[in-house]
Amino acid sequence: MSLATSARLARRELRGGLAGFRIFLLCLALGVGAIAAVGTVRAAIESGLAREGRALLGGDAELRLTYRFADESERAWMASEATAMAEVVEFRSMAVTGAGERALTQVKAVDGAWPLIGTATFEPAMNIATVLAGRGGLPGAAMDPVLIDRLELSVGDTFRLGRQDFALMAAVLREPDSIGTSFGLGPRTLVAAAALENSGLIGPGTLFDTSYRLTLREGDTLQQLRQSLNTAFPDAGIRWRDSSSAEPNIARFVDRLGAFLVLVGLAGLAVGGVGVSAAVRSYLDAKTPVIATLKTLGAEGRTIFTIYFLQIGILTVLGVVAGLVLGAGAVALAAPLVQAQVPVPMAVGFYPGPLLEAAVYGVLTALVFTLWPLARVQDVRAAALYRGIGTESRAWPRAWALVWLALALSALIGASVWFSGIWMLALGTAGGIAGSLVLLFGAALGVRALARRLARSRMLRGRTALRLAMGAVGNPREGAVAVVLSLGLGLTVLATVGQIDANLRAAISTQLPDRAPSFFFLDIQPAQIDAFTAQLRATDGVNDIDTAPQLRGVITRINGRSTSEFPEHWVLHGDRGLTYAAEQGSVTVTEGDWWPADYDGPPLVSFGADEGRELGLSLGDTITVNVLGREVTGTIANFRELDFRSGGIGFVMTFSPNAFSGAPHTFIATVNADRNVEGAVLRALGEAFPNVTAIPIRETAQRFAEALSTLAAATSMAALATLATGFVVLIGAAAAGERARIFEAAVLKTLGATRGQILASFALRSALMGAAAGLVAIGAGAVSAWAVLTQVMDLSYRFEPVSALLIVAGGVLAVLLAGLGFAARPLAARPAGVLRAQE
């Protein structure tokens, strides 16, 4: 029996048309489409970032320094190795108006060469030189429109940074080398670096970053330039970025978010899989006489399997292709909309990679969800042609099919791990989906059994509508399993997102202000710290002050090995705040001992316990940090608890006090004040210490919450795709049951039931199944939200009833809508016509 014959028979079978496969195709196409769309957007952003790399960086390469400017030798190196160089200084400060309004701003001070690539746009339109030149003897500045509004300034007004006045020349609309301003602390103020000389803001110990953007000489490569830099200044603590990864943080963020959303999309595909499975089951059920006939005519089990496997295979390819067209097409159509929403450049186009990824997911999901029913076709008995009894094929497919099923499932999970690159999240998602499906399947069977019992109980006698509804839900043919599975899984995803979102919001809006200080103060000079604390202590309403010396440095080596050899960890990424202390104070040491207050030996370090564990550190290990170009190596003396959630001062590394003796540094302070005096405290300190930067915690938390809600919104969109697929499955189940309901309604009418009673019975059964799906979704959603919040985010979890109730209500409503949408024909059908046709 050749494959060609099977293929021929399969083709003849498919002549029946695709009408019976609408749900199959829609489920597959929606699931694949969502994944293809997410993947295409991600690829477009990544490609946009790469394309605009030079402009975003503001040059071919960037050298970044902390707290200092390049020295003479470094400048000489740049002059000899690059064709052009632009210097940019960035720091946080307070902008103050003549009216006394003050606001945190991120200052960017540039030289005359900036920007090397692209142009900055201002309102009113002018060039950068005009902006910086200023007017009336004052240096010029441009500000983010948000900041102009906040300070109630208009173009032409004067404001002050530190001790220097500036003329506001324009609003800055676009900087070619900045896309991440919204992620920074405070909106932008753009000034000339030379104008800051007398501001008192930039000096030894103050917190500022300098970056030098360079353009390559003809014929040079980035690699050569980098090697030359490393040779010339091996230990200068110079950080390197180049146009191949201009925005590594954003690229990483987009990559992670994309991978996460694809995994959410995978949940949608799993929902679609439930619909696909149900569609194939009902198709094959209807084909039982044909299969039995083929067996009678001499077809072997394997031939039968091949015939139907090929049919489903062809349909799978159709569904997947439709999904790819849908996903890629949707992105292409919505590109202008999406581009307006994201602050990063997108290069919309055709990206085969993400489409291939979506196709692989689609094919494997179809395989996983159809192998079981397909494998059972070969057990259809020829005797099915003349009787119904005893021909039900056995519940379990044969061993080979189970092996293939396991292989396909492993391939699917393996693919998600491979494609996402985040194996823990991928496995967690796979486990979550599988766990939810098992839970939902159990719940569906439970609901069915319970409904059957209730339908027969004495309690419901006389309540006809309810008894009929229970009977229907309890009937294996009513599709309760498919409804609860598909809707339940969609709702579970939504419930998880809802619970996490609500918990995060609660954590930010209610928990933080109770414990957190009102302000962070930065850049307090050593000479100012005593006067600063004294003034605060003298202010009524100030409850708590905490200060610590601060330096910033980059960890360069652990136990003498370069940090580039270690797996990525945020502590190793960029520069960190460092402090020193003689006394242990209120911190809890988890391992090792604090040093004596008068310790004067080689530098010792107290390291954050969790971070140390993640980095695989133990007592006695050495940490080398580069502070202002100087390398300091400390030995880990103890590990201590760090609680970032308290909002207090939390340094990963605290050194023994002798480690940085003589190094210029500043102090930071946290201040807890009553809300009604916050404004007064800020004004008084601002006047006395104009160089000190205040960060209002509540405002920052608000900004953080906004960023989180954007994330939650993106996740909800992906979850909605899941729900839409679930709804398609619902409609499929409702449509499949329509004929049975027409007959049921006809019989009931004959027996004297009114249309109202019949409708009530239909509505009740829908509501029951929806409620069951919703309740399980809440349970599964709560468990997965708990896992994400407590195990991944290290936060506490509290059940959020409002979002949960919405989920159940939504579930009931969805099933009601799908069910009642198909109630019209059963209600309208005249019994005589229906019952005559049934004979």
293 binds another protein (CB under 8 A): yes
Joined tokens for residue 690: 């104009």
Distance CA 218, CA 67 (A): 32
- Give the nearest distance from C-beta 300 to another protein in angstroms: 4
Q: 731 near 277, Cβ under 8 Å?
A: no
Cβ atoms within 10 A of the Cβ of 572, count? 17
Judged by CB under 8 A, the residue of 303, 316, 579, 761 near another protein is 303
Distance CA 510, CA 61 (A): 44
Joined tokens for residue 548: 């610590």
494 binds another protein (CB under 8 A): no
- Give the nearest distance from C-beta 296 to another protein in angstroms: 5
Amino acid at residue number 532:
F
Angle formed at CA 611 by CA 610 and CA 613, multiple of 5 degrees: 65
Element spanning 607, H or E = strand 604-608
Stretch that binds another protein, among 154-162, 178-186, 232-240, 381-389 (CB under 8 A): 381-389
Judged by CB under 8 A, the residue of 7, 382, 417, 545 near another protein is 382
Residue listed under structure tokens 């009678």: 296
Smallest CA-to-CA distance from 28 within 492, 363, 415 is with 363
- Give the nearest distance from C-beta 838 to another protein in angstroms: 16
Note the Cα 712 to chain centre separation in Å: 7
Stretch that binds another protein, among 6-14, 23-31, 623-631, 689-697 (CB under 8 A): 6-14
- Give the nearest distance from C-beta 752 to another protein in angstroms: 30
Stretch that binds another protein, among 98-106, 124-132, 387-395, 409-417 (CB under 8 A): 387-395
477 binds another protein (CB under 8 A): no
Distance CA 69, CA 51 (A): 30
- Give the nearest distance from C-beta 438 to another protein in angstroms: 27
Q: 740 near 825, Cβ under 8 Å?
A: no
- Give the nearest distance from C-beta 16 to another protein in angstroms: 5
Judged by CB under 8 A, the residue of 125, 136, 219, 386 near another protein is 386
Residue listed under structure tokens 């083929």: 294
In eight-state DSSP terms, residue 651 is -
400 binds another protein (CB under 8 A): no
5 binds another protein (CB under 8 A): yes
Smallest CA-to-CA distance from 797 within 494, 498, 500, 496 is with 500
- Give the nearest distance from C-beta 14 to another protein in angstroms: 8
Judged by CB under 8 A, the residue of 296, 562, 646, 791 near another protein is 296
Stretch that binds another protein, among 206-214, 323-331, 376-384, 558-566 (CB under 8 A): 376-384
Distance CA 77, CA 721 (A): 54
- Give the nearest distance from C-beta 737 to another protein in angstroms: 21
Distance CA 759, CA 765 (A): 10
Distance CA 713, CA 645 (A): 24
401 binds another protein (CB under 8 A): no
Judged by CB under 8 A, the residue of 19, 136, 137, 297 near another protein is 297
Question: Which residues have a Cβ under 8 Å from the Cβ of 329 and sit 6 or more positions away?
Answer: none
Distance CA 150, CA 696 (A): 14
Q: Residue 86 forms beta bridges with which residues?
A: 213
In eight-state DSSP terms, residue 196 is G
Q: Residue 64 forms beta bridges with which residues?
A: 211, 239
Binding mask 335-374 for another protein (x = CB under 8 A): ----------------------------------------
**CB burial string 394-403: b at 16+ within 10 A, e below:** eeebeeebee
Stretch that binds another protein, among 3-11, 209-217, 445-453, 622-630 (CB under 8 A): 3-11
Distance CA 672, CA 698 (A): 12
- Give the nearest distance from C-beta 472 to another protein in angstroms: 19
Element spanning 87, H or E = strand 82-97
Amino acid at residue number 133:
A
Binding mask 734-763 for another protein (x = CB under 8 A): ------------------------------
299 binds another protein (CB under 8 A): yes
145 binds another protein (CB under 8 A): no
9 binds another protein (CB under 8 A): yes
389 binds another protein (CB under 8 A): yes
Judged by CB under 8 A, the residue of 20, 118, 145, 301 near another protein is 301
Judged by CB under 8 A, the residue of 302, 453, 675, 739 near another protein is 302
Q: Is 664 exposed, middle or buried (0-12, 13-18, 19+ CB in 10 A)?
A: middle
Binding mask 663-702 for another protein (x = CB under 8 A): ----------------------------------------
- Give the nearest distance from C-beta 249 to another protein in angstroms: 58
Binding mask 505-524 for another protein (x = CB under 8 A): --------------------
Judged by CB under 8 A, the residue of 125, 387, 400, 537 near another protein is 387
Joined tokens for residue 261: 């959303």
Judged by CB under 8 A, the residue of 219, 234, 298, 336 near another protein is 298
By C-beta, is 267 or 290 nearer to another protein?
A: 290
Joined tokens for residue 772: 């069951």
Residues that bind another protein (CB under 8 A): 1-2, 5, 8-9, 12-16, 289-290, 292-303, 378-379, 381-383, 385-387, 389-390
